[in-house]
Chain A
Amino acid sequence: MRSKSPHQPSLSLIISAALAETKLRLINISRYPGQMAMEVIIPIIFAAMPMLLGQATAGDNAAANFQANTGTANYFAYLLIGASTFTIVANAFWHIAYWVRFEQETGTLEAVYLTPTSSLTLAAGVALYSAVRGVGSALIAYFLGALIFRFNPLTGNLLLALLFLFVGLIPLYGLTFLFGALVLKVKEANALINLMQWVVSLLMGIFFPVTLFPPWLRFIAQLFPPTWMVNGVRSALLGIGYFLENWYLDWAVLWAFLIFAPLFSIQVFRRVEAGLRRNEGIGTF
């Protein structure tokens, strides 16, 4: 028997396989143009609701009250950043769960598992697609919302905000693989996604600072990388203040998440995958 496989692909071919997965999904979504338009509108509507509620309950004092609790009077930008970032986070969970569940049902999950491309490479391709789609929609929604609600979207340190966003994406996708593993295991996506969306929207503080939480809940919220991501983006753009006083300390926390969250999630995902292969198989739904 041969002991060494001559079928080790080069790194460029592995990256090419991941990019093919990204491209496949972008082609697929381009064939549903209405969905992209909806995705841009959703965060604007999502942010408009608390804006109008705030104005209705606090009237002329809305901005002053908001500043007293959050550190900025620009509640339009604050809420829109929260809603846009939430779109990225919710999409990330949705896309990974949808990848696993939908492809299980259509039979394509088994088809891709028959190829020598590892599930990690496939997942990286799906994550890249999701990030491109989510960040694209969120940025368009933010700038469109700025036009609608008439505020300057380019205040503060835009570069630092983008750094928080992009560094935060990696641990976020790490977490979504944990979620993907759960979907593989329980073979259900919709109820899990619905639950996750509400829990996530509460914990990451899309409409309010998590400093308003009681300490135990704040601790839980701060175990979740998107909480640091959204606060970093807001602090960079609106100057509301970092959790650890300095941007680089908050950023360092995100880097710590970046290292540990994907490693942990990939281990869990692989264990679930191996468990399925031991029993009924990856494609059984």
Chain B
Amino acid sequence: MQPVIVQNLSKIYHSKQRQGLFKSSRREVHALKNVSLEIREGEIFGLLGPNGAGKTTLIKCLTTLLLPTSGRAWINGYELTKEDDAIRATVGCMLMGERGLYWKLTGRENLVFFGALYHLPPAERKRRANEIIERLNLGEIADRTVETYSSGQKMKLAFGKALINDAPLLILDEPTNTLDVPSARELRAMVRELNQEGKTVIYTTHIMAEAETLCDRVAIIDKGRVIASGTVAELKESLGQETVIRLEGVIPQQASEAVRELSGVSQLAVTAVNGHNLLTIVTPNQQHLLPQLIHTLTTHGAILRNITPQEVTLEDVFIAHTGRTLAEDTRE
């Protein structure tokens, strides 16, 4: 059985657009547009996309928090909107990170409480809470109120909360968002470990490197649509002969526009990095293009600091499809 099947799922929000103090107009936001996915048992499936792409909306639909406007989905064999209780019982979720915890309760009290809401018998709740505390090395802080935890400890506890019902499917929405590098690495290692124990994982992130190292397959979402999906290798291969050149420096807009006009530039994205610009160029012919690039940029006033021909990354796949980087917020 496929743990997740999504068929043509769409979600339209209605929001008010303020026009002055008293006036507002109704606005339709198409957060998901005919999304279709199949997630296989035992895989780590990455949902990748910039902020505002629709990842969290999709996750909220799949976890029954939002009703889709159209389309169908089955989670662990249960049909969305028809068997929502069963879906919730068979999914472990980490959404909104540390915000989903009661700060005046201890870590252990939080876990036992959520165990009760997942309908675990009292003895089972305590046993599961103890297991999670031990597994996540939370023993020293488990009996302190959550308000005294560091941000990383809160995220760890929130991750533990997702494990309380021992669900076969874990849905983790940007779980490393506020973590420092070592804590993020530790959490990813735990996700891998749980996956090896047989759990299917849906992992949303806007960090491409994270998806590359962790996920078996990924779907790239942009503006509510799945624009590409497959294994990391498949997605990279989908660029064919295309390669990537990154140029860093002071690059005026007219210089980057001039580059865009060059034949041999398939896609181009500009990002601001540490007061400089980073130009990412996808091209089928790196060697032929490079001298032209340098010439065009310098004649248009660019001061180049660094030129790096690179291997294709998932970010480049995204750029190749959209002409934008993942750093851009695409929220409508």
Contacts and interface: CB of A to CB of B under 8 A. Distances in A.
A274 interface: yes
A106 B99 contact: yes
B13 A279 contact: yes
23 contacts: A1-B77, A2-B77, A2-B83, A5-B85, A6-B86, A16-B119, A17-B116, A17-B117, A17-B119, A20-B112, A21-B113, A23-B113, A28-B104, A31-B104, A110-B100, A111-B114, A114-B88, A114-B91, A114-B95, A115-B118, A116-B89, A117-B119, A281-B65
A20 B113 contact: yes
A115 B65 CA distance: 10
Q: Interface of chain B, helix or strand or loop or mixed?
A: mixed
Interface string B66-84: 1101000010011100010
Contacts of B74: 1
A118 interface: yes
Contacts of A131: none
A13 B119 contact: yes
Given A115-B117, A277-B65, 12 more contacts: A7-B85, A27-B105, A28-B104, A108-B100, A111-B99, A114-B65, A114-B88, A114-B95, A114-B100, A115-B114, A116-B119, A282-B65
Contact of B119 (A2, A5, A9, A27): A9
Given A5-B83, A17-B116, A277-B66, A115 B102 contact: no
A96 B7 CA distance: 38
B88 A281 contact: no
A104 to B, nearest CB: 11
Q: Which 5 A-B pairs have the closest CB atoms?
A: A107-B99, A111-B100, A20-B116, A5-B86, A115-B117
Contacts of A280: 13, 15
A14 B119 contact: yes
Task: Pick the most buried of A16, A19, A21, A115: most chain B CB atoms within 10 A of its CB.
Answer: A115
Contacts of A116: 85-86, 88-89, 117-119
A115 B105 contact: no
A8 B67 CA distance: 22
Interface string A243-285: 0000000000000000000000000000000100111111100
Contacts of A5: 78, 83, 85-86
Contacts of A23: 113
A120 to B, nearest CB: 12
Contacts of B44: none
A1 B87 CA distance: 13
Contacts of B15: 280
Contacts of A111: 95-96, 99-101, 114, 161
A236 B223 CA distance: 66
Interface of B: 13-15, 60, 63-67, 69, 74, 77-79, 83, 85-86, 88-91, 93, 95-96, 99-105, 109, 112-114, 116-122, 145, 161
B117 to A, nearest CB: 4
Contacts of A278: 66-67, 69
Interface in A109-168: 110-118, 122
A37 interface: no
Contacts of B145: 31
A58 interface: no
A7 B89 contact: yes
Range for the number of chain A residues in contact with chain B: 35 or more
Task: Pick the most buried of B63, B64, B113: most chain A CB atoms within 10 A of its CB.
Answer: B113
B207 to A, nearest CB: 22
Contacts of A117: 116-119
A36 interface: no
A202 interface: no
A277 to B, nearest CB: 5
Given A1-B79, A9-B119, A114 B63 contact: yes
Contacts of B85: 5, 7-8, 116, 118
A111 B113 CA distance: 12
A24 interface: yes
B86 A24 contact: no
Given A5-B86, A111-B100, A283 B117 contact: no
Contact of A108 (B88, B93, B101): B101
Given A1-B79, A279-B14, A110 B65 contact: yes
Contacts of B161: 111
Nearest to B74: A1
Contacts of A16: 116, 119, 121-122
Contacts of B90: 7
